[in-house]
Amino acid sequence: MIQYKTYSSNLKYLEIGQGFFDGWPNPPSVEKHREILEGSYKSIVAIDENNMIIGFINAISDGVLSAYIPLLEVLPKYKNQGIGTELVKRMLEELNDFYMIDLLCDEDLQSFYKKQGMFKAQGMMIRNYKCQSGREIG
């Protein structure tokens, strides 16, 4: 049975499953992944029966009007079980009082987010792939 929890300090005891950032040439380490969860405005995790994080979504925000959802990930062996859909649903409920909730995704994922109530928009971006694994601080 999958449980869903909004990130708080009591999630530090959870193991982060191996295999996130599937297909990334330079994925963040488990330590950087934990920093992502801890440093976000909101993080919601899906946890399996072994207290392992098998999926997550995070949001960054000004806490007033806007929020951005940069990452939604489900471990490959748990995909197509509704976990990603549930994570998005819960995050959108958490962010319901914001004026704007934005995310960027590849074209092949747009139909998934449309089913979650989002609509296609224009956007601009920069990607520094040399920093994809997580910028070192200090």
Mind listing the pLDDT tens digit for each residue in 5-62?
998 666 677 889 999 999 898 999 998 999 899 899 999 999 999 999 999 999 999 9
User: What phi and psi, each to the nearest 5 degrees, are found at residue 101?
Assistant: -130, 115
- How much of the chain, in percent, has pLDDT values that exceed 90? 70
Distance of alpha carbon 22 from alpha carbon 114, whole angstroms: 22
User: What is the pLDDT confidence band of residue 138, given thresholds at 50, 70 and 90?
Assistant: very low
Strand pairing report for 3-6 and 66-74: unpaired
- 102 within 8 A of 66, measured Cβ to Cβ: yes
Mind listing the pLDDT tens digit for each residue in 51-104?
999 999 999 999 999 999 999 999 999 999 999 999 999 999 999 999 999 999
